[in-house]
Structure 1
Amino acid sequence: MNSTEILPLPVPPPVEELLDGAVVVGLPMNTRFRGTTLREVMLLRGPYGWAEFSPFPEYDAVESSRWLAAGVEAGWRGWPEPVRESIPVNATVPAVTAEQVPGVLSRFGEGITAVKIKVAESGQSMDDDLARVRAVHRERPEVGLRIDANAGWKHDEAVEALSRIAEIAKLEYAEQPVPGIEGLARLREALAERGVSTRLAADEAIRKETDPLAVARAGAADLAVVKVQPLGGVRRALSIVEAAGLDAVVSSALDSSVGLAGGVALAAALPRLPYACGLGTAALFADDVVADPWVPHHGALAVRPAPEPDPRALERLRLPAEREQWWRQRLIHAHRVLSAVEPT
């Protein structure tokens, strides 16, 4: 692990400035993902362009304040200079049936070099997960596979599932199979004892911890999955990756095309990018805030500034007044937390 310090969260502008011109929209999903079929997003407009504030509904003001910090950076500061012009991305397969897999993969087009498969969905069985993995491997045998359990397995379930998946195909990595840092470390030991060489990636164990470097100190993961909004912005995420000393995969937090620009900016600024990134998630939406959704072409996203929302799309997707008021209050609460954060 490197000795670099993690950057502090930025000081936000006045809340009135953030709310001026803010728009709240709902993006319909092609398939239920993360338990929802409508992704609610608040868009902000700053001097550097459009930004996104979209913490998931269950997140409190403290957690949401990091998402607001990312929006402040995007709209009021801008991002660091890129070191590459194109970002390879993976396809994402939600917890669909095996029969639905070909249709999902078709939305990502040709050229995809990796597929992330959601597993451990509530109400589904391990057999469902295995069938989904088999279906993806059958459709795209040439690509790298990775699974994401969102910390949904218990230890014994994870050991069994990863052992059985290893018989189907070699995974690039398994993303947060079990909760917590200690859980990941224990799982690594158990898999090694079984001779299962699957690498483990930390997601929730980094972005939900007060100390995002604890994973690296504990030797609990082989790589880090980093998301711009939950980590407080592109620059702060870069400092976390550098301090942790782990290879990183940049992933979406189910952002709109506006929010995806932050993920692209992070991936474009990383010194190393050994894995395709999880930034092709605009393909999961049935509608988006831009006229030309930011979906991958030939397996990659071009590095460019955040796109301008289409006024007609904003009008079409705008949520009712009561939901807009709910989001405005949410931003106010997150702003209070962010304004009170002392630089570290």
Structure 2
Amino acid sequence: MSPPPPLPELDELLADAHVVALPLRVRFRGVDVRETVVLRGPAGWAEFGPFPEYGDAEAAAWLRGAVDAAWHGFPAPVRFRIPVNATVPAVPASGVAAVLAGFAGRVGAVKVKVAERGQDLDDDVARVAAVRALLPDAELRVDANGGWDVARALAALERLAEHRLAYAEQPVPTVAGLAAVREGLAARGIPVLVAADESVRKETDPLAVARAGAADLIVVKAAPLGGVRRALGIVAQAGLPAVVSSALDSSVGIRAGLALAAALPELPYACGLGTVSLMRDDVLREPLRPVDGFLELRDAVPDPQLLARHAVPAPRRRWWLDRVRRVHALLAPADPQARPGTRPGARPPGG
């Protein structure tokens, strides 16, 4: 993997940083409003949006990813049109149609959230069945976010497989558990592949899954893996098919995911980059929302009026900018080119 890009000075990061709160159409990951930071560097716009519960050490990769995008741009693409799946949160089965209606035109693939706290397997089966009834020809995949143990995962996937699943994303939390689920599915003759997400992006060694033979494919996200270039290196070394996904980003963050998907030598699966369709509003006048199951590769430049409209209250702005300062301070000692102080005469932080 290539070394991380040089870290800009703190004042450069904050000079055009905007903290925004974007309302969702449907509750997702336990939130109704997505807070994030969009910032501009010499190469364009980028997003820093690690979820609030993440510690500074985990958030550091997200800042590296933002620096990679805004200060160094994106690798050359090999494709300009990216297949994208719809995403169905852990809504009741009766709410599936309304969620899918937010994805314009034809939907060729759908990721369905399962194993939600407070719900049971019957809820999951009903939700997946509702998607299959509405989209009889779509490729379906489920995402448990590590919410099952091995026994529950095998029992759940045996039932859910009746609805023709392509793969199950992170059914259990650990690499060893993924290997056990994969072996158990094969032993039972259940034709569902295993995908690793958290076991790639949250582990200190993102290649452990591949070495252990614990997954059939990996899910990669540009921001938590430290940027597009580092994610490309992980995919190349893992030697497994990859699905590019997002982290409930604004269109600015989705642009980095598109850059990753556009630069991969092979792209066998639709990508999880359609989550702007779950938002009521965005920072772009023309958000990066898929049409007929595809996103076109284009720039993501925020609209100043939308940045102002969605600006967070002052206390939340301080919270986020303090977080940027702390994470920058974590990264700076390892980067001799970074100077964390504020340069005299620098512009004040943006909205």
Same fold (TM over 0.5): yes
Rounded to whole Å, the distance in 2 between the matches of 1:278 and 1:152 is 19
- Secondary structure of 1:237's match? helix
Quote the residue 1:253 is aligned against: 247
Tell me if the contact between 2:199 and 2:209 (Cα under 8 Å) persists in the aligned partners.
yes
Quote the residue 2:200 is aligned against: 206
Q: After TM superposition, list the pairs within 5 Å mapping 1:234-313 onto structure 2.
A: 234-305=228-299, 307-313=300-306
Q: What amino acid does structure 2 have at the position aligned with 1:191?
A: L
TM superposition shift of 1:342: 6.5
Quote the residue 1:165 is aligned against: 160
Quote the residue 1:56 is aligned against: 51
Rounded to whole Å, the distance in 1 between the matches of 2:228 and 2:147 is 27
In structure 2, which of residues 314, 325, 328 is the aligned counterpart of residue 332 of structure 1?
325
- Secondary structure of 2:23's match? strand
Rounded to whole Å, the distance in 1 between the matches of 2:212 and 2:74 is 31
Rounded to whole Å, the distance in 2 between the matches of 1:41 and 1:148 is 23
Rounded to whole Å, the distance in 1 between the matches of 2:128 and 2:333 is 45
Rounded to whole Å, the distance in 2 between the matches of 1:33 and 1:341 is 35
- Secondary structure of 1:230's match? coil
Residues 171-193 of structure 1: per-residue CA shift (max 9 Å, x gap): 11100000010110111111112
Tell me if the contact between 1:11 and 1:339 (Cα under 8 Å) persists in the aligned partners.
no
Rounded to whole Å, the distance in 1 between the matches of 2:183 and 2:315 is 50
- Secondary structure of 1:229's match? coil
Residues 124-165 of structure 1: per-residue CA shift (max 9 Å, x gap): 111000000000000001110000000011111101100001
TM-score by length of 2: 0.94
TM-score by length of 1: 0.96
* 1:93 equivalenced with 2:88 (yes/no): yes
Residues 246-295 of structure 1: per-residue CA shift (max 9 Å, x gap): 00000011100011000000000000000000001100001111111110
TM superposition shift of 1:92: 0.2
Tell me if the contact between 2:5 and 2:72 (Cα under 8 Å) persists in the aligned partners.
no
* 1:317 equivalenced with 2:317 (yes/no): no
- Secondary structure of 1:75's match? helix
Alignment RMSD? 1.1
Quote the residue 1:218 is aligned against: 212
Q: Cα–Cα, structure 1 residues 341 and 171, in superposed 2: closer, same or farther, change >3 Å?
A: farther
Q: Which runs of 5+ in 1 are unaligned?
A: 1-5
- Secondary structure of 2:97's match? helix
Q: What amino acid does structure 2 have at the position aligned with 1:165?
A: L
* 1:112 equivalenced with 2:107 (yes/no): yes
Rounded to whole Å, the distance in 2 between the matches of 1:59 and 1:12 is 21
TM superposition shift of 1:66: 0.4
Tell me if the contact between 1:11 and 1:338 (Cα under 8 Å) persists in the aligned partners.
no
In structure 2, which of residues 103, 119, 127 is the aligned counterpart of residue 124 of structure 1?
119
Rounded to whole Å, the distance in 2 between the matches of 1:273 and 1:144 is 15
Rounded to whole Å, the distance in 1 between the matches of 2:105 and 2:169 is 24
TM superposition outliers: structure 1 runs of 4+ over 4 Å: none
Tell me if the contact between 1:66 and 1:338 (Cα under 8 Å) persists in the aligned partners.
no
Higher deviation after alignment, 135-144 or 308-317: 308-317
Rounded to whole Å, the distance in 2 between the matches of 1:341 and 1:186 is 38
Residues 77-104 of structure 1: per-residue CA shift (max 9 Å, x gap): 0000000010000000000010110111
Quote the residue 1:196 is aligned against: 190
Tell me if the contact between 1:290 and 1:308 (Cα under 8 Å) persists in the aligned partners.
yes
Q: What amino acid does structure 1 have at the position aligned with 2:304?
A: P
Quote the residue 1:3 is aligned against: none
Rounded to whole Å, the distance in 1 between the matches of 2:66 and 2:243 is 21
Quote the residue 2:341 is aligned against: none
In structure 2, which of residues 128, 140, 143 is the aligned counterpart of residue 145 of structure 1?
140
Quote the residue 2:170 is aligned against: 176
Provide the aligned length of Structure 1 versus Structure 2: 336
Q: What amino acid does structure 1 have at the position aligned with 2:170?
A: Q
TM superposition shift of 1:10: 2.4
Q: Which runs of 5+ in 2 are unaligned?
A: 337-351
Rounded to whole Å, the distance in 2 between the matches of 1:82 and 1:197 is 33
Tell me if the contact between 2:7 and 2:335 (Cα under 8 Å) persists in the aligned partners.
no
Q: What amino acid does structure 1 have at the position aligned with 2:248?
A: L
